[in-house]
């Protein structure tokens, strides 16, 4: 019997050893995965969020191979330069003989001679293809030529984008540089008014664009050159071939293009007829990647699976071949390159040059978030997004808010629950709003017990007891706003006292905590903590799990005890409802107009809820609106959103709004779908802004105590434990 189990174990081990794990992003459908794992398949599928997730899993031996394009390979190289290897190229079927996916070239007139070199371009005018979402060229590629030619100079008193415009005007004199220079429309318009020379070579100077927009502006750039408006066009090589009708495979007699030539990075010149022209950037092809210690075995296996005679193929090998070759036809490499040697033939891979602008210090509250921040920061650098992002690690949200207020960090994304505290205590403001998935908006409701109905309208709140999840949270702010709108309390510069004078008691966790409260009036604190339970440490009213009335679930526990009404964020109790810790039938919503909902439970429409808003925002210090640092930060974040958010028809090396290494809500909440400017008119954002309008009346009194509060806070022990500690 013992031998039987040993044999069985060997069989199972052998079977498991034959399974090779392929990274499968969401682009690979469930039906493809089913086909891939049919029969005697030697492939198992490892779901991944993006190529960054795949690289991490391959490096950690949680996956064996995956497909990466060149930009994804560049990011993987920054973290795993020695452990990952490209083993097979994937080339477009029409370009099997091309060494690179694309090349960027500079075309100039024949009138430039070899003695002039790059200096011949001074004041000659630049014909640029422009910036558009429809092309795959990112800012690093689009700006590579101009920065190399004019030896990019950083002016510390200009924004990054204005610094670019200043350098281009200073060197080239004029240009046509179509599209959005920055993602903020108003600032983009401001820059173009200030630097009209950079639209002077466009056919349509007013709108700063070419009449010929074919091929993402590349054809317009070549028109700009050949019509003698500019002295150099920076374009993709294959568009030069189309434009000048160059076909090396079928050269037409007497069709040699004349009048123009290639300008090389070293200043040399080449005729347009050369078959392998000098290029400024040469983009490597996509590749299949594995671990270095697994490379030889994976190459052998892939050849066996994909080159087997037709009669020996199985469903899973056909499916594997189809999946692997969607990016291009398989081309086996003659020699096995390292990741660096594969990339460096066409690209700079070690970006050591410090970009322009003041660093953006992004505050993170746990180690997984810091690591994700480092991946995003590196990818932003590879995309040509400036300024540079640095990732700071602190212990909690309150630590970060304090550090930003003290200019020791610059930005962070906060839950909308911290919006009031960020403004009132730390004197911060919105940098950008985050648009939330509609079904995941923050919904604040007032809850009463269904069996008692001790409060039937807001006028009955006098001398009642209210249960809050915490002090200063979105529930607290929504409650105050509702009472103001219903004329239950008057506008004042001390809303905590106004609430205390209305009620006979409350539980407001955190109102006496030094890390997120500025309330010092003992009467106010006494009333607003009167209904809180005694904690194990003999404390009371703390914003900590030791307080059983803390948080939204805690507020409902309070309602079951001394409370008459609870103010909660309904989505925060959904898990407790699913686990049947809370029964919605026990409660009813008191609508913001003062009437009771006609049915029990928490699910009410927007008109009944006290507030329906976004659930997060990016905050930073208050700047003058003309401050270039504010422009830099906003533009960098919007470009990150453009390239790493939910951009149509594009692959993202790392997805900023999704989970990372199994952790959720890092840098941004998973519910985020985009970024919005401070002028956004989205309904949920407008509602969020309106919640804080009443703060204007109390702001002047707040500013006088902020500095004293910070001194107190520095010496205090932070009691809030990080979620990922």
Share of the chain above pLDDT 70, in %: 91
CATH topology (fold) of 2-86+293-328: D-Maltodextrin-Binding Protein; domain 2 (3.40.190)
Looking at residue 649, what is its pLDDT? 63
435 vs 275: CA distance, rounded Å: 49
Give the β-pairing of 360-364 and 389-393. Answer: parallel
Residue 253 confidence (pLDDT) above 80: no
Alpha-helix residue ranges (DSSP H) falling in 195-324: 218-226, 237-243, 295-306, 315-324
Average confidence (pLDDT) over 67-89:
96
Residue in the structure block whose two tokens are 């939204």: 552
102-282 and 447-607 agree in CATH topology = yes
Residues 6+ apart with CB under 8 A from 662: none
**pLDDT tens sequence across 578-628:** 988 899 999 999 999 989 998 999 999 999 999 999 999 999 998 754 578
Rounded distance between C-alpha atoms, residue 503 and residue 461, angstroms:
7
* CA neighbor of 421 nearest in space, from 352, 349, 471: 471
Could you give the angle at which helices 628-644 and 185-194 cross, rounded to 10 degrees? 120
Per-residue model confidence (pLDDT) at position 704? 39
Give the confidence band of 6 by pLDDT, cuts at 50, 70, 90. Answer: very low
For the ranges 286-290, 468-472, 698-702, which has the lowest average pLDDT? 698-702
Average pLDDT, the chain: 89
pLDDT above 70 for 673: yes
Instruction: Give the CATH number of domain 360-439+615-715.
Output: 3.40.190.10
Residue whose C-alpha is closest to residue 567's, from 547, 545, 590: 590
Confidence of residue 255 (pLDDT cuts 50, 70, 90): low
Residues making up the annotated binding site for Fe(3+) are 415
For residue 305 the two structure tokens come to 């699976």
Kindly state the tokens that stand for 501.
């004078």
- Domain 102-282 classification at class level: alpha beta
Count CB-CB contacts under 10 A for residue 255: 10
At residue 698, the pLDDT reads: 54
The count of residues in the chain is: 725
Backbone phi and psi for residue 618, each to the nearest 5 degrees, phi listed first: -100, 130
Query: What is the four-CA torsion angle of 382, 385, 386, 391, rounded to 10 degrees?
Result: -70
What are the extents of the domains in the chain?
2-86+293-328, 102-282, 360-439+615-715, 447-607
**680 vs 434: CA distance, rounded Å:** 10
CATH number 3.40.190.10 given to 447-607? yes
The number of angstroms, rounded, from the C-alpha of 510 to the middle of its chain's C-alpha atoms is 31
What residues form the annotated binding site? 415, 475
Mean pLDDT of 11-34: 77
Rounded mean pLDDT, 78-97: 95
User: CA-to-CA distance for 374 and 380, rounded, in angstroms?
Assistant: 10
Q: How confident is the model at residue 449 (pLDDT cuts 50, 70, 90)?
A: very high
| Nearest partner of 49 among 61, 34, 63, judged by Cα | 63
The answer, yes or no, to whether residue 708 has pLDDT greater than 70, is: no
312 band by pLDDT with thresholds 50, 70 and 90: low
Q: Is the pLDDT of residue 91 over 60?
A: yes
Amino acid 133: pLDDT: 76
| Mean pLDDT, range 670-699, rounded to an integer | 87
Helix (H, G, I), strand (E, B) or coil at 7: helix
**Among residues of the chain, what percentage have pLDDT more than 90?**
76
pLDDT of residue 639: 95
Q: CA torsion, points 201, 202, 205, 208, in degrees to nearest 10? A: -120
Structure tokens at 128: 């640029």
Compute the distance between CA of residue 125 and CA of residue 166 in angstroms, rounded to an integer. Answer: 14
Unique residue bearing structure tokens 């921040």: 373
Interatomic CA distance for residues 37 and 32, integer angstroms? 9
Phi, psi angles (nearest 5°) of residue 54: -65, -45
Annotated binding site for hydrogencarbonate, which residues? 475
The sign one gets for the Cα dihedral 363, 404, 629, 665 is positive
């Amino acid at each position: 019997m013992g031998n039987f189990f040993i044999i069985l174990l060997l069989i199972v081990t052998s079977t498991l050893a034959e399974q090779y794990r392929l990274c499968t992003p969401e682009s690979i459908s469930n039906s493809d995965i089913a086909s891939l794992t049919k029969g005697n398949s030697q492939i198992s599928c490892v779901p991944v969020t993006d190529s960054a997730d795949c690289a991490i899993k391959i490096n950690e031996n949680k996956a064996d191979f995956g497909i990466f394009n060149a930009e994804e390979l560049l990011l993987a190289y920054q973290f795993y330069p020695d452990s990952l290897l490209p083993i097979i190229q994937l080339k477009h079927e029409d370009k099997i003989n091309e060494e690179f996916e694309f090349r960027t070239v500079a075309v100039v007139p024949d009138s430039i001679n070899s003695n002039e070199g790059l200096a011949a371009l001074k004041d000659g005018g630049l014909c640029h293809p422009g910036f558009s979402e429809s092309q795959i060229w990112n800012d690093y590629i689009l700006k590579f030529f101009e920065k190399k030619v004019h030896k990019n100079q950083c002016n510390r008193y200009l924004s990054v984008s204005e610094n670019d415009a200043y350098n281009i005007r200073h060197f080239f004199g004029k240009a046509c540089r179509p599209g959005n220079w920055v993602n903020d429309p108003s600032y983009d318009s401001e820059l173009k008014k200030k630097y009209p020379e950079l639209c002077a070579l466009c056919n349509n100077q007013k709108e700063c664009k070419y009449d010929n927009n074919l091929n993402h502006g590349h054809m317009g750039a070549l028109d700009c050159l050949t019509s003698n408006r500019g002295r150099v066009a920076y374009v993709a090589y294959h568009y030069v071939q189309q434009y000048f009708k160059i076909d090396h495979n079928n050269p037409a007699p007497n069709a040699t293009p004349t009048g123009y030539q290639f300008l090389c990075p070293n200043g040399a010149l080449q005729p347009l007829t050369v078959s392998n022209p000098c290029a400024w950037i040469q983009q490597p092809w996509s590749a299949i990647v594995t671990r270095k210690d697994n490379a030889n075995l994976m190459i052998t296996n892939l050849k066996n699976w994909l080159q087997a005679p037709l009669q020996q193929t199985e469903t899973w090998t056909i499916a594997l071949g189809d999946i692997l070759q969607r990016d291009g036809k398989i081309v086996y490499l003659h020699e096995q390159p390292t990741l660096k040697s594969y990339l460096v033939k066409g690209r700079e891979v070690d970006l050591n040059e410090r970009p322009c602008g003041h660093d953006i210090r992004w505050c993170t509250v746990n180690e997984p978030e810091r690591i994700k921040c480092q991946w995003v920061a590196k990818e932003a650098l590879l995309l040509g997004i400036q300024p540079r992002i640095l990732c700071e690690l602190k212990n909690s949200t309150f630590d970060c808010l304090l550090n930003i207020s003290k200019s020791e960090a610059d930005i962070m994304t906060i839950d909308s629950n911290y919006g009031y505290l960020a403004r009132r205590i730390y004197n911060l403001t919105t940098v950008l709003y985050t648009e939330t998935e509609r079904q995941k908006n923050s919904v604040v409701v007032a809850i009463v017990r269904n069996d008692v109905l001790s409060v039937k309208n807001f006028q009955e709140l006098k001398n009642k007891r209210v249960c809050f999840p915490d002090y200063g949270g979105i529930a607290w702010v929504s409650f105050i706003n509702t009472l103001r709108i219903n004329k239950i309390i008057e506008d004042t510069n001390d809303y905590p006292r106004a609430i205390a004078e209305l009620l006979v008691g409350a539980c407001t966790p955190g109102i006496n905590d030094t890390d997120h409260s500025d309330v010092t009036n003992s009467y106010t604190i006494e009333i607003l903590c009167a209904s809180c339970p005694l904690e194990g440490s003999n404390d009371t009213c703390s914003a900590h799990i030791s307080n059983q009335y803390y948080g939204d679930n805690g507020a409902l526990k309070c309602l079951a005890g001394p409370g008459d009404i609870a103010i909660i964020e309904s989505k925060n109790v959904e898990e407790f409802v699913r686990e049947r810790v809370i029964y919605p039938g026990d409660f009813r919503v008191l609508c913001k107009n003062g009437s009771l909902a006609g049915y029990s439970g928490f699910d009410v429409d927007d008109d009944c809820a006290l507030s329906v808003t976004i659930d997060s925002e990016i905050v930073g210090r208050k700047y003058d609106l003309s401050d270039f640092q504010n422009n830099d930060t906003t533009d960098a974040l919007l470009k990150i959103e453009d390239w790493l958010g939910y951009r149509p028809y594009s692959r993202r090396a790392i997805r900023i709004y999704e989970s990372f290494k199994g952790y959720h809500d890092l840098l941004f909440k998973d519910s985020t779908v985009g970024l919005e400017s401070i002028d956004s008119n989205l309904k949920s954002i407008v509602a969020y802004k309106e919640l804080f309008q009443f703060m204007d009346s109390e702001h002047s009194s707040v500013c006088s105590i902020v500095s004293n509060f910070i001194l107190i806070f520095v010496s205090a022990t932070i009691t809030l434990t990080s979620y990922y500690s």
